[in-house]
């Protein structure tokens, strides 16, 4: 049976893993390569490394960090942040990434999705969407807007419509982050996740808000997520992916175990 994936996310700044609380308070949590291996060893199904400051500071993705992290990692490995061209993506793949995650560059020039896919396959292109509910709408989750620049600027675009366009342009997966929930540990935005997941046929990775096992169970159930991403819940020893999956399995959610 196809399992629901638990993805460990490493937000990286200046070559160190950090985790923001709604992208503001930053806490240093360690070496990316070391943490990636620890997560894989502790049962994470995938690793995502996001260079969180790359976009607005215009820094290139830290290829050296990617190379070191990828060296002996034998689960899927995604890298995002600062990838603006197909050449940027090629360099990240060359350093050992299996997938790239693109966000504002895809919004600015949606052709980028197809350009990377043409060389590396659609499965290698994740379109990341930072979303905030639209409180003025009668359906705030369904009408959520796409934000850019670390959640600071509203593009005015509909999240669901952008996800559909990304799929039609050849995205392999959608990484959907609820900016309202991110870092709060109060649970994923299940309504938003379900709205996107029901609108596309490619997998949707839910992100933002993980704090307890119940939150994961909810986003896989009500939220219809194919995968869920978490960062701080793992870094500070709250839980491991394995412990999390063992509890999810008891609730009847298919997960990769033993792992």
Partner 1 sequence: MRITVIDYKAGNLTSVVKALRHLGAEVTVTDRPEPLAAAERIILPGVGHFAATKRLDETGLTPAIREAIASGIPFLGICVGMQWLYAGSTEAPDQPGLGVLPETIERFPDGHEKVPHVGWNQLHPVGNSRLLAGIGDGEFAYFTHSWRAPVTAATVATTDYIQPFAAAVEKGNVYGTQFHPEKSGETGLTILRNFLEVTPC
Q: Is 199 in the site for partner 1 (CB under 8 A)?
A: no
Dihedral sign (CA 200, 147, 172, 246): negative
The CB-of-213 to partner 1 minimum distance in angstroms stands at: 19
Among 11, 165, 189, 226, which residue sits at the site for partner 1 (rule: CB under 8 A)?
226
Options 95, 179, 190, 206; binder of partner 1; rule CB under 8 A: 95
3-state secondary structure 4-42: CEEEEEEEEECCEEEEEECCCEEEEEECHHHHHHHHHHC
Q: 31 and 16 in contact (C-beta within 8 Å)?
A: yes
List the catalytic residue out of 130, 143, 189, 226.
Answer: 130
Q: Tell me which residues in 165-194 interact with partner 1 (CB under 8 A).
A: 172-173
Residue range at the interface with partner 1 (CB under 8 A); choices 80-88, 90-98, 136-144, 146-154 = 90-98
* 11 flagged as catalytic: yes
The residue among 203 and 221 lying less far from partner 1, judged by its C-beta, is 203
154 is catalytic: no
Query: Among residues 148 and 217, whose Cβ is nearest to partner 1?
Result: 217
- # residues near partner 1 by CB under 8 A: 35
Q: Judged by CB under 8 A, does residue 71 bind partner 1?
A: yes
Are 176 and 129 contacting, i.e. CB atoms less than 8 angstroms apart? yes
Cβ neighbourhood burial of 59 (10 Å; 0-12, 13-18, 19+): middle
CB closer to partner 1 out of 37 and 185: 37
109 interacts with partner 1 by CB under 8 A: no
* DSSP per-residue letters across 134-154: -TTSSSTTTTPEEEETTTTEE
161 contributes a contact to partner 1 by CB under 8 A: no
Which residue blocks in the chain are alpha helix, DSSP H?
32-41, 54-57, 63-70, 86-94, 104-108, 111-120, 159-168, 190-197, 213-221, 232-235, 241-250
To partner 1, the closest distance from the beta carbon of 44 in angstroms equals 10
Does residue 3 belong to the site contacting partner 1 (CB under 8 A)?
A: yes
- Hey, is 121 helix, strand or coil? coil
Least distance between partner 1 and beta carbon 10 (Å) = 18
Using only C-alpha atoms, the chain has a radius of gyration, in whole angstroms, of 17
Binding site for partner 1 (CB under 8 A): 1-5, 40, 45, 70-72, 74-76, 93-98, 117, 119-124, 172-173, 201-203, 226-227, 256, 259
Catalytic residues: 11, 130
């Amino acid at each position: 049976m196809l399992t629901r994936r638990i993805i460990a996310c490493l937000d990286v700044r200046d070559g160190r893993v950090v985790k923001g609380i709604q992208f503001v308070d930053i806490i240093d949590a360690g070496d990316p390569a070391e943490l990636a291996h620890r997560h894989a060893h502790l049962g994470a199904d995938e690793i995502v490394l996001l260079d969180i400051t790359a976009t607005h500071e215009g820094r290139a993705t830290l290829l050296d960090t990617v190379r070191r992290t990828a060296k002996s990692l034998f689960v899927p490995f995604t890298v995002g942040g600062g990838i603006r061209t197909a050449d940027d993506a090629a360099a990240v793949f060359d350093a050992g990434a299996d997938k790239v995650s693109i966000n504002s560059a895809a919004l600015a020039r949606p052709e980028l999705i197809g350009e990377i896919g043409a060389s590396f396959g659609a499965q290698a292109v994740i379109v990341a969407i930072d979303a905030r509910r639209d409180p003025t709408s009668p359906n705030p989750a369904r009408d959520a807007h796409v934000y850019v620049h670390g959640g600071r600027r509203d593009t005015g675009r509909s999240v669901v419509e952008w996800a559909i366009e990304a799929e039609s342009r050849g995205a392999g997966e959608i990484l959907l982050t609820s900016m309202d929930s991110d870092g709060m540990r109060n649970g994923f935005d299940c309504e938003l996740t379900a709205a996107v997941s029901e609108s596309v046929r490619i997998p949707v990775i839910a992100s933002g808000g993980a704090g307890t096992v119940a939150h994961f169970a909810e986003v896989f159930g009500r939220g219809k997520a194919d995968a869920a991403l978490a960062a701080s819940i793992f870094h500070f020893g709250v839980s491991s992916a394995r412990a999390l999956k063992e509890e999810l399995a008891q609730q009847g959610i298919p997960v990769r175990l033993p792992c």
